[in-house]
Structure 1
């Protein structure tokens, strides 16, 4: 009996030591990441604390404030939590607060949500290679400081490593019941489903993300009685420029013009010309078929030039 007691005490001491070492490493890793961001020119501030002994690593970042170099993008929140079981630390749940402040080029505002969280899993290896991510939100409301509001009733995004690959990922996003600023109607569904192949796996050492190919399996936008669908493939060269096209079909395309005018995308004085041009593209039909093309560093929608194509190489 005494030996069993000693054995239990020793196991408890070893497990306690494991927890405290693990908790200290988690906190040290987060603080090191904040210091690294500061060294790269970010404004990165947060208080870090890990609790949950003995069965969890619950790390809370309090008074969070991030701003990327140039100060055009920023994020502020009272807290961000990363929750993991101590015996499965490679599977993390991220919990975000009900209210956050966002800043991006052209606008600053407040995002509120009834529920906003994500779960992510990395592979149990030294590189901590990305395995999967799922993020969900309900009743997301963005209120701009410029006095306009956008509501998304439900959001789900997901990405996962494809089986038998090390750098190809399934990517999916779906937004339901989007209430746009007044006068521009409501979008019932926005959906995107794609396969993305990268040059190298995503892991803790990743500094540069180099996209090699994007296969768009499905795109769908339902905006009242206007329905846009699309699919296609883009191959990306060594400089990050895409080549290929996404075929788009727009049903009841005429109905979208007054909404684009109300949204300020199209000038009201140009709407009649846009309707005439659209009739030519659609050959007088209610369905318009247009290719979104990327070629020689430029993009176009049908015969309309859109300007330089985006470069699909991203550096941290």
Structure 2
């Protein structure tokens, strides 16, 4: 009996030591990450970082968080962010976001709120912190701009996961359901006759090949480059109008893409109607644009064209569009 009691006491002491070590590591890593952001020129402010949950959990809370990215000037502010994990599975993290937070840009301020948010981040159980997967689901997200417009959706889903058979390759997916644009469309004359207030579905599915894994160095601020993009699906369904894009690109070390993306649009003339009503081009240009698209590959109500990236340039069919954008990750 005494031996059993001794074993239990030793086990409890060892577990307590493990929790204290894990607690210190959580605290140290979060504080270190904030300091690294400041060293990189960010504004990284918080009022408190605390970790609780003894004996079986590590529940870390960052209070009054404010982050500003120096290149874009975009700021994210939140009253708190929480990271929750079991003490025996610290590499599997649940993230808790507040229902209300703020995104500020040099042009406007966005009030973001939602009915609920669920996020998870799974790492490989090693010191490299290689990302295995991450998921985010927002129920009822709404964005209100300081410029007076509002957009909302019933649900937004995002996921990324490592592809086991290809090193430094990640599958990325996104789905936005019932995106309401009523405030924006109300400013365009007769828009209600062309499109419903809601975009039914916006969906994306792609594979990204990166020049290094998303691991500790990435989370500490090292930028990653894209070397391959396989776009399986980028699609929009808005009333009778549907749009899709798919194709493959290879990307050079300096971010220049090469390859082809096939664009397909059904009921595409309704988009021209909306653009004309929004005064994006002169009415006299409408006929020229429509005729050009028909000649390029517009069969009745379906338009299908290749978006070609080659030699640092991009073209839509045979029409040159100019210099290709540089594709770089984060």
- Work out whether the TM-score is over 0.5: yes
Q: Secondary structure at the match of 2:225?
A: strand
Deviation at 1:268, TM superposition (A): 5.3
Q: Secondary structure at the match of 1:201?
A: coil
Deviation at 1:215, TM superposition (A): 0.9
Q: What's 2:185 paired with?
A: 182
Q: 215, 222, 244: which one pairs with 1:229?
A: 244
Contact 2:298 2:304 in 1 (8 A): no
**Larger strand fraction of residues:** 1
Q: 275, 279, 302: which one pairs with 1:287?
A: 302
Q: What's 1:15 paired with?
A: 15
1:111 aligned to 2:94? no
Distance in 2 (alpha carbons) for counterparts of 1:123 and 1:259: 48
Q: What's 2:168 paired with?
A: 167
Q: What's 2:208 paired with?
A: 196
Q: Secondary structure at the match of 1:208?
A: coil
Out of 232-241 and 251-260, give the one that drifted further.
Answer: 251-260
Deviation at 1:220, TM superposition (A): 1.1
Q: State how many pairs are aligned.
A: 314
Q: Secondary structure at the match of 2:141?
A: strand
Q: Secondary structure at the match of 1:313?
A: coil
Distance in 2 (alpha carbons) for counterparts of 1:104 and 1:309: 26
Deviation at 1:18, TM superposition (A): 1.0
Q: Closer, same or farther in 2 for the Cα pair 1:48/1:226, shift >3 Å?
A: same
Residues 263-308 of structure 1: CA deviation (Å, up to 9, x unaligned): 56x2354445433433333446110011122222232333444443
Q: What's 1:77 paired with?
A: 78
Distance in 1 (alpha carbons) for counterparts of 2:319 and 2:64: 47
1:98 aligned to 2:99? yes
Out of 142-151 and 9-18, give the one that drifted further.
Answer: 9-18
Q: Secondary structure at the match of 1:205?
A: helix
Q: Closer, same or farther in 2 for the Cα pair 1:61/1:263, shift >3 Å?
A: farther
Distance in 2 (alpha carbons) for counterparts of 1:90 and 1:142: 32
Backbone CA RMSD of aligned residues? 1.9
Contact 2:65 2:79 in 1 (8 A): yes
Residues 198-251 of structure 1: CA deviation (Å, up to 9, x unaligned): 222111023131211111111211111100112100011121111111101100
Q: Closer, same or farther in 2 for the Cα pair 1:236/1:8, shift >3 Å?
A: same
Structure 1: any 5+ residue segments left out of the alignment?
Answer: none
Deviation at 1:118, TM superposition (A): 1.2
Q: In the TM superposition, what are the counterparts of 1:200-219 in structure 2 within 5 Å? A: 200-206=212-218, 207-219=222-234
Distance in 2 (alpha carbons) for counterparts of 1:309 and 1:249: 20
Contact 2:313 2:324 in 1 (8 A): yes
Distance in 1 (alpha carbons) for counterparts of 2:321 and 2:299: 24
Distance in 1 (alpha carbons) for counterparts of 2:160 and 2:55: 31
Structure 2: any 5+ residue segments left out of the alignment?
Answer: 192-196
Q: Closer, same or farther in 2 for the Cα pair 1:174/1:71, shift >3 Å?
A: closer
Deviation at 1:260, TM superposition (A): 3.1
Q: Closer, same or farther in 2 for the Cα pair 1:37/1:187, shift >3 Å?
A: same
Q: What's 2:57 paired with?
A: 56
Distance in 2 (alpha carbons) for counterparts of 1:21 and 1:211: 37
Q: What's 2:262 paired with?
A: 247
Distance in 2 (alpha carbons) for counterparts of 1:143 and 1:306: 34
